[in-house]
Structure 1
Amino acid sequence: MTCEKVAIIGAGPTGIASAVQLKRYGLEPFLFESDQAGGLVRNAWKIENYPGFPDGISGIELAGIMQKQLRKAGVLPIFQRVKKLTYHHDSEQFILQTDINNYRAGAVIVAAGTKAIRPNFVNRLPEQINKRILSEVYPLLSIAEKRIIIIGAGDVGLDYTVNLARANDVIVINRSECSQALPLLKNLADKSGRISIMSNTEVRDVVETSEGRLEMSLEREGELYQIEADYIVAAIGREPADDFIDDEFRRYENDLIECGRLYYAGDISNGIYRQVGIAVGDGLMAAMRVFRKLKERKQCI
């Protein structure tokens, strides 16, 4: 089938679902990913509400299955970060600028997901310490017998905590009295002998010790504390990962959405409703809508 090129930004569950569906239509989409296919699902301790896995499945396992499905479908991700997305009205083409090349497409599905919100205090830390405060947990899943501090006690923070506490000691820093996480996660944390939660606690500073560990200064009910850790992970919230979209593009993005050339799908546009099942459904629907619009414009023959 001869068809206008479709680009997908992000190879998480949404982007993977879009790419596989477009391949079923006979298209050859560009699928851009700056890290690894599977996206942030790799952070998840266990996914228990995705149909087909009655006993649940770890995020790493599910990401591996999705990667296998991409390969079987014949989709080869382009492992390049999209730095800027623009649209040329004269040629009716999007330009996707990466660190290596520029790519053209007639339609774009933005499935870039979310990025972590960094705590305010990290901005005043030296760079060598700042970069040691992680925002994702999957790089740490192979370590064992370390002490890890998690900043944040919501769903994400406690999910990270339970995941890491299988082989490490984890301290959770919570600014408020109570966690707003799922009862399931709170129960798992309470039952673990390797998890401790410090409530009503604020982070004041982080320094590097002479042994290379991280020392965190905390304030709790007017008292100051210092604790050391091998790693720190911030889990205080997420926001759309849309740094590649500038104000100029925003001025006409609604027109592009209305005419069926631009689609936002998955976590990037779903606010707090960040679930794998929702993300996959969004990706499928975006792909179906793209193909339908291309046929209507007779740009698929």
Structure 2
Amino acid sequence: MEKVVILGTGPAGLTAAVYLARANMNPLVIEGPEPGGQLTLTPEVENFPGFPEGIMGPELMDNMRKQAERFGAQFKRGWVTDVNVANRPFKLSVDGLGEIVTESLVISTGASAKLLEIPGEKENIGKGVSTCATCDGFFFRGKKVIIVGGGDSAMEEANFLTKFASEVQVVHRRKELRASKIMQDRAKSNEKVTWALNKTPVEMVSDDLKITGLKVRDNETGEEETIETNGIFVAIGHNPNTAFLKGKLDMDEKGYILVEPGTTNTNIPGVFACGDVQDQKYRQAITAAGTGCMAAMDTERFLEGEAVHDWSQTL
């Protein structure tokens, strides 16, 4: 039986692993299909404290993992298909690993990219449609690409893509962008970035081999046009990776895990949630790491018998 199992290896899960390993809790960390989380898709992290010149996202995640391993955290690859948290010890069903029994559980499974859900999208992923500029930007050197979205992620990816593409056109369904001012200013000052605002994507067009265009509808006139492009990058947000927990823990209508304010306690004593899986407001690497620290400390106190009450009964 494990003392504590951590699900996920983003900044939240890895920070929790560092703290719990240093506390001699011997955490078992289960890696899903995207080890390192969203930061492995981030070209350069400029706002994580301690790196005045910035650091590549994959490098930051690799450093965190090595730090956790140094103190004794164990890592195993698997896909959690079911959990039983009705009674302690908790039981996890993990593809590739079988059943794992644990006294406590830290959930840091993060969130995954949303898709537009329009014709021509899913069937062209890998044929010119991508949700990862860092992964696929290199393949569009000297070509025209489109980024769909209006938030910070879209602006960051638009700027990154200009390192390779000859033109990056931002398509957004609203007149105004949702991105922070600094991110908007960076994109707007980049001469390779062009804009198609107040236009709704309705279809991704291909020649059966590769993407050739994005059909959009003007929200004022209702007229449709096809913007020619060699690639389309979708950056419209994320969904929390909590489908396997449905009905097991309290969540909001979007699937984000609810925690006791100021803690990482879920409604099940001994189960803790940290990172983007419970945060739809800040969603930053540093806030995820902070909640990972909190989850580790909450877990340690729980296992030591200092926090065994059901907080949901007192709210």
Q: Which residue of 2 aligns with 1:280?
A: 289
Q: Alignment partner of 2:213: what SS?
A: strand
Q: Give, in whole Å, the separation in 2 of the partners of 1:43 and 1:63.
A: 11
Kept in 1, the 8 Å contact 2:154–2:235? The answer is yes
Letter paired with 1:62: L
Q: Which residue of 2 aligns with 1:97?
A: 93
Residues 128 and 118 (structure 1), Cα distance of their counterparts in 2 relative to 1, 3 Å cut: closer
1:266 has 2:264 as partner: no
1:114 has 2:111 as partner: yes
Post-superposition offset of 1:177: 1.3
Post-superposition offset of 1:196: 1.4
Q: How well do the aligned residues superpose, as a CA RMSD in angstroms?
A: 2.8
Q: Which residue of 1 aligns with 2:237?
A: 237
Post-superposition offset of 1:262: 0.6
Residues 65 and 164 (structure 1), Cα distance of their counterparts in 2 relative to 1, 3 Å cut: farther
| Percent identity (aligned) | 26
Give the TM-score of the pair, scaled to structure 1: 0.85
Q: Give, in whole Å, the separation in 2 of the partners of 1:31 and 1:158.
A: 33
1:296 has 2:291 as partner: no
Q: Which residue of 1 aligns with 2:246?
A: 246
Residues 64 and 229 (structure 1), Cα distance of their counterparts in 2 relative to 1, 3 Å cut: farther
1:173 has 2:171 as partner: yes
Letter paired with 1:287: A
Q: Give, in whole Å, the separation in 2 of the partners of 1:53 and 1:210.
A: 45
1:145 has 2:137 as partner: no
Q: Which residue of 2 aligns with 1:223?
A: 223
1:31 to 29, 32, 38: 29
Q: Give, in whole Å, the separation in 2 of the partners of 1:119 and 1:126.
A: 7
Post-superposition offset of 1:88: 4.9
Q: Give, in whole Å, the separation in 2 of the partners of 1:38 and 1:201.
A: 34
Q: Alignment partner of 2:44: what SS?
A: coil
Q: Alignment partner of 1:166: what SS?
A: coil
> Deviation string for 1:218-266 (max 9, x for gaps)?
2224433223333322222223211111225559x98983564011111
Q: Which residue of 2 aligns with 1:129?
A: 124
Post-superposition offset of 1:210: 5.1
2:156 to 143, 159, 163: 159
1:6 has 2:1 as partner: no
Letter paired with 2:44: K
Post-superposition offset of 1:142: 4.0
Residues 60 and 200 (structure 1), Cα distance of their counterparts in 2 relative to 1, 3 Å cut: same
Kept in 1, the 8 Å contact 2:26–2:74? The answer is no
2:204 to 203, 206, 226: 206
Larger helix percent: 1
Post-superposition offset of 1:66: 2.2
Q: Alignment partner of 2:304: what SS?
A: helix
Kept in 1, the 8 Å contact 2:144–2:168? The answer is yes
> Deviation string for 1:38-85 (max 9, x for gaps)?
211123343333211123323233223223323433434222121222
Q: Alignment partner of 1:236: what SS?
A: coil
Q: In terms of mean alpha carbon deviation, does 22-31 or 40-49 score higher?
A: 40-49
Determine which structure has greater relative contact order: mean sequence separation of CA pairs < 8 Å that are 6+ residues apart, divided by chain length.
Answer: 1
Q: In terms of mean alpha carbon deviation, does 9-18 or 30-39 score higher?
A: 30-39
> Deviation string for 1:106-141 (max 9, x for gaps)?
1111111112222242xx447523665433333225
Kept in 2, the 8 Å contact 1:162–1:185? The answer is no
Letter paired with 2:124: I
> Deviation string for 1:184-224 (max 9, x for gaps)?
22222122232212111111211321552342112224433
For 1:48-87, list aligned pairs within 5 A: 48-87=46-85
Letter paired with 2:242: D
Q: Which residue of 2 aligns with 1:20?
A: 18
Kept in 2, the 8 Å contact 1:111–1:264? The answer is yes
Aligned residues between the structures: 291
Residues 96 and 138 (structure 1), Cα distance of their counterparts in 2 relative to 1, 3 Å cut: farther
Q: Give, in whole Å, the separation in 2 of the partners of 1:36 and 1:275.
A: 18
Structure 2 unmatched ranges of 5 or more: 252-257, 307-315
Kept in 1, the 8 Å contact 2:202–2:217? The answer is yes
Q: In terms of mean alpha carbon deviation, does 50-59 or 128-137 score higher?
A: 128-137
